[in-house]
Amino acid sequence: MTTRTVSSSSSPSSSSSPSSASAPSSASAPAVHTPATATAPPALSGLGLFTVLLGAALPLIDFFIVNVALPTMGRDLHAGEAVLELVVAGYGVAYAVLLVLGGRLGDLFGRRRLFLGGMAAFGLTSLACGLAPDAWSLVGARVAQGAAAAAMLPQVLATIQAATAGPRR
């Protein structure tokens, strides 16, 4: 396989390197984007950036804020320490295990679709956590909430990276 380098100072026909003689014709060569022909990434508006950053903040806040409510949850749901530890750990494990998969799914199905689906699922699982009738239902809802967060957060990072360039990034 021959590699061909295209620079702005020379054309393929004027190159004196031996590899240019055996390089494929320009009709079969992949398109090369130069800074002059590349399009600028779409900029995020103020509201768009706020929404995307909110999607990054919610999973992090939710992971830690539950610790404040653990004593009350344990008392109201008649849960022992081990089950309460699962309330915290279930979210974290699901989030960590599924984070890379969430990024890949965003690549396959679209960042916007996964972000909005993750936000909706995160909201629904938050409601399920609040309405959990017992400790084990709460653990299950927290695991699902961690999975929803794992679908949402990679889309935030990819969207910011794709929508900003150069010094703004």
Residue 134 confidence class, pLDDT cut points 50, 70, 90: very high
Residue 23, domain member (yes or no) = no
Please report, in angstroms and rounded to a whole number, the separation of the first and last CA atoms in the chain: 35
Residue 46 confidence class, pLDDT cut points 50, 70, 90: confident
Residue 129 has pLDDT above 90, yes or no: yes
How far apart CA 83 and CA 67 sit, in angstroms, is 13
Q: Is 31 helix (H, G, I), strand (E, B) or coil?
A: coil
How far apart CA 115 and CA 163 sit, in angstroms, is 15
Q: Is 35 helix (H, G, I), strand (E, B) or coil?
A: coil
User: Can you give the pLDDT at residue 19?
Assistant: 46
**What total number of domains does the chain contain?**
1
Residue 28, domain member (yes or no) = no
pTM recorded for the entire structure: 0.70
Q: Give the domain extent around 55.
A: 46-168
Residue 22, domain member (yes or no) = no
Residue 125, domain member (yes or no) = yes
Residue 123, domain member (yes or no) = yes
How far apart CA 30 and CA 19 sit, in angstroms, is 16
Residue 108, domain member (yes or no) = yes
| Burial track 74-99 (b if 16+ CB lie within 10 A, e otherwise) | beebebeeebbebbbebbeebbeebb
Instruction: Compute how many other C-beta atoms are within 10 angstroms of the C-beta atom of residue 59.
Output: 21
Residue 6, domain member (yes or no) = no
Q: Is 83 helix (H, G, I), strand (E, B) or coil?
A: helix
User: Can you give the pLDDT at residue 51?
Assistant: 82
Name the residue among 18, 16, 15, 20 with its Cα closest to residue 4: 20
Residue 29, domain member (yes or no) = no
